[in-house]
Amino acid sequence: MNRDVEISEVGPRDGLQMLKGIMPTSAKKAWIAALAAAGLPEIEVCSFVPPKLLPQMADAAEVVAYARTLPTLHVAALAPNAKGTARAIEAGAHKITLPLSVSHSHSLANVRKTPNEMVEEIRESAKLRDASPSKPGIEAGLSTAFGCTIEGTVAESEVVRLAVAAIAAGADEVGLADTTGMANPQKIKQVIANVRREIGDRLTGVHLHNTFGLGLANALAAYEAGLRTFDASQAGLGGCPYAPGATGNVVTEDLVYMFESMGVRTGIDLEKLMEGRRILAEAFPNEPLYGYVPAIGLPKNYRPAA
Report residue 43: phi and psi, to 5°. -135, 130
Give the pLDDT confidence of 111-137 residue by residue, as tens digits: 999 999 999 999 999 999 999 999 999
Give the count of alpha carbons within 13 A of 250, CB side only.
25
Any domain includes 130: yes
Give the range of the structural domain holding residue 58, as residue numbers without chain letter: 6-296
How much is the pTM?
0.97
pLDDT value, residue 230: 98
Report residue 262: phi and psi, to 5°. -80, -5
CA distance 207 to 121: 21
Any domain includes 306: no
Any domain includes 89: yes
- Bridge partners, 6 (sequence order): 229
Q: Count the residues in the chain.
A: 306
CB 51 within 8 A of CB 57: yes
What is the number of domains present in the chain? 1
pLDDT value, residue 79: 98
Q: Which of 49, 12, 7 is nearest to 33 (CA)?
A: 12
**Catalytic residue chosen out of the listed positions 240, 255, 268, 280:** 240
Torsional sign, CA 239, 243, 247, 250? negative
Any domain includes 303: no
Give the pLDDT confidence of 26-72 residue by residue, as tens digits: 999 999 999 999 999 999 999 999 999 999 999 999 999 999 999 99
pLDDT value, residue 1: 67
Any domain includes 150: yes
Give the count of alpha carbons within 13 A of 236, CB side only.
24
Any domain includes 159: yes
Residues of the chain with pLDDT under 50: none
Domain with 188 in it: what CATH number? 3.20.20.70
CB 137 within 8 A of CB 95: yes
Cβ neighbourhood burial of 47 (10 Å; 0-12, 13-18, 19+): buried
Buried b / exposed e across 189-220, counting CB within 10 Å, b at 16+?
bbbbeebbeebeebbbbbbbbbbbebbbbbbb
Any domain includes 229: yes
CB 129 within 8 A of CB 82: no
pLDDT value, residue 285: 95
**Cβ neighbours for 218, distance < 8 A, ≥ 6 positions apart:** 178, 183, 184, 185, 188, 206, 208
User: Among this protein's residues, is 46 annotated catalytic?
Assistant: no
Q: Cα torsion at 100, 106, 112, 117 (round to 10°)? A: 40
Any domain includes 14: yes
